[in-house]
Copies of this chain bind each other. A is one copy, B any other.
Amino acid sequence: MKKTLLFGEPMALLLADTPGALECVEHFTRRMSGAEVNVAIGLTRLGFPVEYLTRLGDDPFGHYIEQALKDNEIGTNLLTYDPVYRTGIQLKEYVEDGHDPAAPYYRKGSAASHLSAKEIDALDLGKIELVHVTGIPPALSKEAREATYRLMERAREAQIPVTFDPNLRPALWENGETMRNVLNDLANYADVVLPGIGECEILAGTTDKEKAADFYHQKGVALVVIKDGKNGAYVSEKKENGEVVRDMIPGYPVKKVVDTVGAGDGFAVGVLSGLLKGLPVTECAKRGNAIGSIQVQHRGDNEGLPTEEILQSYMAGNIQK
């Protein structure tokens, strides 16, 4: 069975045990975070094998992450350890009322930020059927940015589909203009782009979904799926004959939003798994809506990600989450 390739930085997540400003919190619980980690966990939980290309620090948090990836059945053949630089760390505020938690990084100069195009050149893509890229690695360092370009170029050369989630992280970029320019440039290499409606405003300069989708279609992106929170997702597919099919897929109602972190990654899991199953794009978006809405009802970044059985029950309305 072919695999999905992910590329990014898993971090040790230090989750506050109590609410309030992080500087006042005394007790933390260690978990694992990172957008690509969430997508990787979501895909393996649905039965799709993944391989995770990353570099960790040779330190306790790095060793923990390797074990956590393995426990989640995520392939670690492309995991290496850096002898000098450390594993990235993220803190996260305790939330239970749905406000966006503070989640500052301690990842500047981390092991993963030293990944370079050299590691990409050495990759064997023979057993890869899908490459998923987010906008985070290109924000980490110039080396990691080059590596991101190289990976998307190589996937395109090998005719492997590329899905791209812009995943804006302004705090990691030197400035907003560079962020916009690089992410819009990288979109040229993608077959599928999954922006949020707020990201469309920053990247495509519009919150008009049709215009935003066309912005990406003009770059050669065949499928654009725009996340619009509780409203659902807008799907715009440009067929090979040039015809564009558009649809708005309504979201799942959620009684209580607990924690919004990981919702976008859950959405990506739904879309990617649908594409891997060969489902129609509207079905893919529906799966994305479903998993995103499950995620916001969980406090963890990735603990709520469902199995296929749970997902089907949820979509059939049999269970609340």
**Chain A residues engaging chain B, CB cutoff 8 angstroms:** 14, 17, 21-30, 57, 59-61, 63-64, 67, 84-87, 89, 91, 102, 104-106, 108-109
Other than the given A22-B60, A23-B61, 16 more pairs (CB < 8 A) read A14-B14, A14-B28, A21-B60, A23-B60, A23-B63, A24-B64, A26-B29, A26-B30, A27-B30, A59-B104, A61-B91, A84-B108, A86-B108, A89-B89, A89-B106, A109-B109
The copy count of this chain in the complex is 2
Chain A interface mostly helix, strand, loop or mixed?
A: mixed
Nearest chain-B residue to A91 (Cβ)? B60
CB atoms of B109 and A108 under 8 A apart: yes
Nearest chain-B residue to A58 (Cβ)? B104
CB atoms of B23 and A64 under 8 A apart: yes
Q: List 24 A-B contacts (CB under 8 A).
A: A14-B14, A22-B60, A23-B61, A23-B63, A23-B64, A23-B67, A25-B30, A26-B29, A27-B27, A27-B28, A28-B28, A28-B29, A59-B106, A60-B91, A60-B104, A61-B91, A61-B106, A84-B108, A86-B105, A86-B106, A89-B89, A89-B106, A106-B106, A109-B109
